[in-house]
Amino acid sequence: MDDSFPHNIAQVAEWLHHADSVAVMTGAGVSAESGIATFRDAGGLWEGHRPEDVATPQAFQRDPTMVWRFYNARRSQLLQCQPNPAHYALAQLERDCANFCLITQNVDGLHRTAGSRNLIELHGDIWIDRCWDCNHAQRVDKVSAEPIPACPKCGGMMRPGVVWFGETLPPGAINDAQAAAARCEVMLVIGTSSMVQPAASLAMFAAQAGAKVVEINPQATPLTHSADLVIAEKAGTAMPAILEAIEES
């Protein structure tokens, strides 16, 4: 932890304390602190699988059983994981802020479990089953006993409710995220590589509208040099410290 950490925490806390509107964007780094393997790292979720074999519409059409085997393994892993201090701190920040929006690229549902409610899940939710044929969606809380779950409405094949490679983000989600970024006074960008578009552009939306942009990430990213303030620490360290500083202000 560098010597600037207490000063930076105090500065962010001051901005948040006086802000009427706050937006937060989170990425895989936040979930990694809960023990969830990221997709790109060695030993990550794609190891042993090509994305085109398990995470595209074509893969599902070709072999839905294999796709479901992959996602059920992910769900089984998630059942062993819990939200970490960053998730809980963000949920508390939402309760303390009049106008708050949490935008996440994560599909694991841990923000929701921690208590976040004003939530935009850009890449979907792994705990949603969606019908391939009629688009009926339902939330689940366990791994299906069926190799391919059947739609209760039309009998068609259910698919995981995540955004696959080659699919566009839900129009409502990206529009709402851009609106939240454009109206916020402070934007926290936490644990994301800031490389995946269009999510990576949201910080620029906020900055162009006059918001203070704060990056929380132990790794430098393309956003680092343009952020108003950078806290080069893990979210689970930084977010509880920020919350504590707000409460003391």
Active-site annotation, residues: 123
Q: Nearest 5°: phi and psi at 10? A: -65, -40
Tokens linked to 121 = 């899940």
DSSP lists the bridge partners of residue 131 as 158
DSSP, res 193: -
Helices (H), 46-154: 51-54, 57-62, 64-78, 85-96, 110-114
Tokens linked to 58 = 């074509």
How many CB atoms neighbour CB 81 within 10 A? 16
Cα–Cα distance, 15 to 22 (Å, whole number): 10
Q: Are strands 212-216 and 229-231 parallel, antiparallel or unpaired?
A: parallel
How many CB atoms neighbour CB 15 within 10 A? 20
Cα–Cα distance, 237 to 240 (Å, whole number): 6
CA proximity to 16, closest of 203, 214, 238, 237: 214
Q: At CA 205, angle to CA 118 and CA 84, rounded to 5?
A: 40
